[in-house]
Structure 1
Amino acid sequence: MECCALILAAGASTRMGRPKQELPLRGVPALVYTLRAFEQTPCVQATVLVCPPGQQAHYCLLAQRYRCAEKLRAVVPGGETRQQSAAAGARAAGDCDFLAVHDGARVLVTPEEITRVVRDAQQYGAAALAVPVKDTVKVTNADGFVDHTPERSTLWAVQTPQVFAAQQYLSLLEAAEGDFTDDCQLFERAGQPVHLCRGSYTNLKLTTPEDIPAAEVILKARER
């Protein structure tokens, strides 16, 4: 069963203050780590990179320069929202059985984690990496006061990749109303089950400047 990864790297990086796709991590552009992880995962046969509009040639050359373009099927421009970018990537994926949607800024994902979630999706139809929430979470009202405290044992922080049967994902994407920040929501709204696959706390997302030194520590430890 062929799986194509959609690597979403078209965001504006407003919270980081500069494009996080090319932030240097141990001397290498951040996005390269993401591309390498999928290149090294045998159960993913192809990748589609979704980049900022007008920068397709630049990102294609970046992948070639760092020797992580062997599986690269297409480099396409993203849309104004994450959902639009995912749709652009899905259209470029062509015929495949499963689509693995991944945030390009999750640069520390490993081939082992990708393999686990792809295998889960092949068994259940839809799966996502996730980790149990460590902190107590509060739900507030509109005025900022605590409304209630959900049971922590039921809470998970969802990561990517999120992997889906391709035809079902495309059908739900076309029928979606509104904008989703997470692809699992497409299935949730349709009443379709999504299996959570145990991920790793090191699969963090580069979002704010504080994430950069943490990522570099993890990468350094992996080199030992």
Structure 2
Amino acid sequence: MNGSPSQTLCAPGASHSRLWALVPCAGSGARAQAAGPKQYAPVAGQPMVLHTLAALQGVRRLAGTLVVVSAGDTFFDRQDADVMVAACGGATRAQTVVNGLHALLQRGAQADDWVLVHDAARCLVTPAQIDGLIEACLDDPVGGLLALKLPDTLKQADGDRVSRTVDRSDKWLAQTPQMFRLAALQQALQAAGDAVTDESSAMEFVGLQPRLVEGSAQNFKVTYPQDFALAQAVLAARKA
């Protein structure tokens, strides 16, 4: 797709446009080596995903939050969480998000509404960070994502040897939420296919340039066993 983003998307800022959160929650989390899906593993006294949802519920501008789980997942049947749940998770993240977008439309969302897709396992995000993303993207023709400037020296490998040092000045680590218009994201994901691992990649695939909004090093994705202890320490420090 050629042309600037402002030429390829609908005009933003329509007064009726609402903001929705969508949380893909259908993964198995195999790398975390947890007993069951990692998003339900306990962190600081409660399942990790409930910390994530608490942060989203602290953002008053959100019209609602949809959690997308796998078929047969009954976790939320036992929770008093003020969220919508759709048991339409797919085999990949991209499929889960596409199915979730369709579920949002069925529940009354509109094509030009904004949707903020957030990882269930990024349980340390704060309402202030989410509000910062919204402020930066509400009038943007494309949308954007929280991200972190790469802090470390970046090496390119040749086997187990360094082949070169890569300039890090323009490198960022993608985080979530990632905020785009619902229909535009739906179309981009369908065009990009299942290989994309985040929503920005799909928007990039169709020729758009999402806005980078600086996030926080604490907004990391709990992925490996050692990450649980770090997340627990951060949450405990915040309570203290």
TM-score exceeds 0.5: yes
Q: What are the equivalent positions in structure 2 for 1:209-224 lying under 5 Å apart?
A: 209-224=225-240
Inter-partner Cα distance in structure 2 for 1:34 and 1:9: 11
Please state if 1:201 is matched with 2:212.
no
For the Cα contact (< 8 Å) 2:191–2:206, is it kept in 1? Answer: no
Q: What are the equivalent positions in structure 2 for 1:15-26 lying under 5 Å apart?
A: 15-18=31-34, 19-26=37-44
Equivalent residue number for residue 77 of structure 1? 88
Please state if 1:134 is matched with 2:134.
no
Equivalent residue number for residue 105 of structure 1? 121
Equivalent residue number for residue 49 of structure 2? 31
Inter-partner Cα distance in structure 1 for 2:188 and 2:50: 30
Q: Deviations over 1:83-115 (max 9, x none)?
A: 111111111112241111111000011111111
How far 1:79 sits from its partner (Å)?
A: 0.8
Instruction: Tell me the amino acid that sits aligned with residue 117 of structure 1.
Output: L
Aligned length: 216
Secondary structure of 1:188's partner? helix
For the Cα contact (< 8 Å) 1:50–1:89, is it kept in 2? Answer: yes
Secondary structure of 2:176's partner? strand
Over 3 Å counting, the alpha-carbon distance change for 1:60 and 1:116 in structure 2 is farther
How far 1:20 sits from its partner (Å)?
A: 1.1
How far 1:200 sits from its partner (Å)?
A: 0.7
- More displaced 10-residue stretch of structure 1: 168-177 or 127-136: 168-177
For the Cα contact (< 8 Å) 1:6–1:89, is it kept in 2? Answer: yes
How far 1:149 sits from its partner (Å)?
A: 2.4
Please state if 1:59 is matched with 2:76.
yes
For the Cα contact (< 8 Å) 1:79–1:88, is it kept in 2? Answer: yes
Secondary structure of 1:32's partner? helix
Equivalent residue number for residue 93 of structure 1? 104
RMSD, aligned CA: 1.5
Inter-partner Cα distance in structure 2 for 1:189 and 1:145: 31
Instruction: Tell me the amino acid that sits aligned with residue 50 of structure 1.
Output: V
Secondary structure of 2:219's partner? coil
Equivalent residue number for residue 117 of structure 1? 133
Give percent identity, aligned residues only: 32
Equivalent residue number for residue 67 of structure 2? 49
Inter-partner Cα distance in structure 2 for 1:162 and 1:202: 16
How far 1:205 sits from its partner (Å)?
A: 1.0
Over 3 Å counting, the alpha-carbon distance change for 1:190 and 1:147 in structure 2 is farther
Secondary structure of 1:130's partner? strand
Secondary structure of 2:190's partner? helix
For the Cα contact (< 8 Å) 2:145–2:213, is it kept in 1? Answer: yes
Please state if 1:191 is matched with 2:207.
yes
Instruction: Tell me the amino acid that sits aligned with residue 204 of structure 1.
Output: F
Instruction: Tell me the amino acid that sits aligned with residue 195 of structure 2.
Output: D
Over 3 Å counting, the alpha-carbon distance change for 1:148 and 1:212 in structure 2 is same
